[in-house]
Amino acid sequence: MSAGDDGNSAYGRKSFQRSKSHFTDRITADGRDGWPVAAARYRLVVSRACPWASRAVISRRLLGLDAALSLAVADPIQDDRSWRFTLDPDGRDPVLGIGFLSEAYDKRETGYPGGVSVPAIVDVPTGQLVTNDYQQLTLDFATQWTSLHREGAPDLYPERLRDEIDEVMADVYEDVNNGVYRAGFATEQAEYEAACSDVFRRLELLTPRLARQRYLVGDTITEADIRLFTTLVRFDAVYHGHFKCNRWKLTENQVLWAYARDLFQTPGFGDTVDFDHIKRHYHQVHTGINPTRIVPLGPDLSGWLTPHHREELGGRPFGDGTPPGPVRPGEEVPAAGRP
């Protein structure tokens, strides 16, 4: 999720096209791009409002990388200078010493013309951006950072299932993850209707699949579940109303609502979700869609904690592994953001 040169007010006033990641260096076990996996060398910069960044937060927690990869949480309210660290004392990230994420981008490439997006990984010694490749980043967490995984970490991208996981994720990305944005930022009726139809067509195709199995691929949580969850958890709070994806609410689809609650109540998922950040970001930043910047009072979030009964389908959330431990001090979601 990025802040671009045209400013946040441009959202909803011009046709939407998601930018490709410009900085696609990878942090790998062999350091092939010049960035070897190393404990305490890098800092993950996220917004809890952003679904793309939330993937990285969930993956980091499930795999136990929180001890090796520090976390910077940006203010959910961007301005045209990019993601800012106004949640931190003196408005500066305490590790990187910067006020805006754009400063790390500038150290990597002066005058970079694209948007400043999260998630982003910054090299702490040099202060420069390493990667903003939101599609590859979490796959590398699962496959390249294994030497730093916690004991009992799940296999989120099992090799024998990768072809199926990739196929499911591609469809979910096109129609759901990115589809809600294509609908929400559409500037013409036909453009909106096509995107909105794609969202619900894909969700309706996923429903029978998830009616017969607990997780999207195999019998454990994988990267595919993380990517679908980050859209579903935002669906009723922002996509249904703010993005006009309103054929039905998530709570009206018995299967998907139970699936989303199952994941939300799994350690590593719901304990990373901040509904206050989500609602304030979408409604106060996208002034092209919501010029009054009024944040709705609803929806009622208490349902996220109700029984889901998905365990009746079997499955083992962490496979042969174990749940992650408690959230690290200082990384808890504030009470205002919880159900």
Catalytic residues: 50, 181
The secondary element (H helix, E strand) that includes residue 62 is helix 51-63
As a whole number of angstroms, the distance between CA 318 and CA 177 comes to 24
Phi then psi for 274, rounded to 5 degrees? -120, 100
Give yes or no for a contact between 13 and 288, defined as CB atoms under 8 angstroms apart.
yes
The DSSP 8-state label assigned to residue 219 in this structure reads T
Closest listed residue to residue 176, CA positions, set 231, 108, 248, 113 = 231
Q: Are 7 and 53 in contact (CB under 8 A)?
A: no
Euclidean distance between CA atoms 52 and 56, whole angstroms: 7
Using alpha carbons, list the distances in angstroms from residue 14 to 184, 229, 283, 286, 290.
11, 28, 18, 12, 15
Q: Report angle CA 110, 114, 115 to the nearest 5 degrees.
A: 110
Please say whether the beta carbons of 77 and 280 come within 8 A.
Answer: yes
The backbone torsions φ and ψ at residue 323, rounded to the nearest 5 degrees and listed phi first, read -65, 155
Dmax of the chain from CA atoms? 54
The DSSP string of 189-222 is: HHHHHHHHHHHHHHHHHHHHHHHH-SSSSTTS--
Q: Tell me how far apart the alpha carbons of residues 14 and 7 are, in angstroms, rounded to a whole number.
A: 12
Task: Write the CB contacts of 181 (distance below 8 Å, at least 6 apart in sequence).
Answer: 16, 18, 243
Do 330 and 162 touch, CB atoms closer than 8 A? no
